[in-house]
Structure 1
Amino acid sequence: MKQQWDRLQAYLKTNKPELLADLAPPATDAELYALEHGLGVTLPADFVECLKIHNGQKGESEWLFSGSEFLSSQRIMDEWTTWKELLDGGDFDGAEAEPGAGIQPVWWSQKWIPFTYNGAGDHLCLDLDPASGGRTGQVITLWHDDGARKKKAESFAQWFAEFVDKTV
């Protein structure tokens, strides 16, 4: 993870210094504990390692991930809580998802952890409760108004490495 971040930071330093300055400092152990406790999950090690380098963005620049905000531990909790309230309120009752292979056939699962946000209610999520054939920690799409759920990568590390390769 550190090598990928080093490559990305070198690119940002030269090409987008304001975006580099917008990256938050590392997440503390207390912040990570609060996040995992609040979500009721153990986060994948590769994602924890990422947050220990940069705990998302401060929100004072353009978004890091191709038009999506890199969520901090607090913003992850905020977005997850919004989805949880919708689930508990019955908003997804009768909603039909169209999951790809290895993804649960639900509109939203409490074990889908958002780590990006596009400003319109859509996310990339860590899937910590995959269907048969899926892999815990795979990265999936989550659309607020469309039931399509697709796997983007087998892990956060794979997804991040592909993002860095396309960017730098």
Structure 2
Amino acid sequence: MQEYWIRWESWMKQYAPGLLTILQPGASFEAVASLEKLINATLPASFKAFYAVHNGQVKARTGLVDADQLLSVADIITQWHHWKDLLDSETFTYNEEPIFSAPDTGIKNDWWNPLWIPITSDGFGNHLCIDLDPTPEGQPGQIITLWHDDAHRAIVAPSFEDWVKDYLNALEKGDYIFVKKWGIVHKDTFLNYND
């Protein structure tokens, strides 16, 4: 997984060298183990190898993933607790019935599932998640969308490594650009302006 960071950092050096300063040092074995203990599940080996190089990014206005922050392990834990508190307080129920999502095939129809592990954040309650509890049609470790106010749940990639690889391929192809106010954004997004 280190090769992916080499490619990503090489892109940053060329197009957005300031982003290199928001990369965190690698996550410790203990930090990742504490996350796995919290969720009572094993994270994909590719995630652990990727985070051993850089533990996501520091909290900043600019994001590394289409304007979203790549969460550190500590921030993943914080977001997970936020969603778990909402689940435990029955926020995702109405008249004592569960509120269901509208997922792609392969994703459970929960509004949120404790085995959906947030890895990015837009700061408004929306994430990409590692799905460790798919339906039989899905793949453990697939990357899915989680919206706080929209029922749709989509599969973005079949695995964490595929997600990283696809994102970096698109980055190097020129599908994403750096915008000072937001960070790395898709070239066709409404965020693609400089003011």
TM over 0.5: yes
- Of 135, 138, 145 in structure 1, the residue corresponding to residue 142 of structure 2 is 138
Structure 1 residue aligned with 2:35: 35
Pick the structure with greater CA Rg: 2
After TM superposition, the structure 1 = structure 2 runs for residues 90-105 of structure 1, keeping only pairs within 5 Å, are 90-93=90-93, 94-105=98-109
The 5 A counterparts of 1:53-64 are 53-60=53-60, 62-64=62-64
From the superposition, tell whether residues 60 and 150 of structure 1 become closer, same or farther in structure 2 (CA, over 3 Å): closer
Does 2:157 correspond to 1:129? Answer: no
Task: Report how far residue 61 of structure 1 moved.
Answer: 5.5
Answer with 139-148 or 38-47: which moved more: 38-47
Q: What is the aligned counterpart of 1:117 among 106, 114, 121? A: 121
Give the letter for the 2:30 counterpart.
A
CA contact (8 A) 1:18 1:61 kept: no
- The residue that corresponds to 1:45 in the other structure is 45
2: CA distance, partners of 1:59 / 1:149: 26
Normalized per residue, the structure richer in strand is 2
Provide the aligned C-alpha RMSD in A: 1.0
CA contact (8 A) 1:39 1:77 kept: no
How far, CA to CA, are the matches of 1:117 and 1:97 in structure 2? 19
Aligned residues: 168
Tell me whether 56-65 or 144-153 shows the greater mean CA deviation: 56-65
Q: Tell me the SS of whatever aligns to 1:31.
A: helix
1:21–1:61 CA distance, 2 compared to 1 (3 A): farther
Q: Where do 5+ consecutive residues of structure 1 fail to align? A: none
Amino-acid identity (%): 39
**4+ runs of 1 displaced by more than 6 Å?**
none
C-alpha deviation, 1:4, in angstroms: 1.4
- Tell me, in whole angstroms, the C-alpha distance in 2 between the residues paired with 1:121 and 1:61: 15
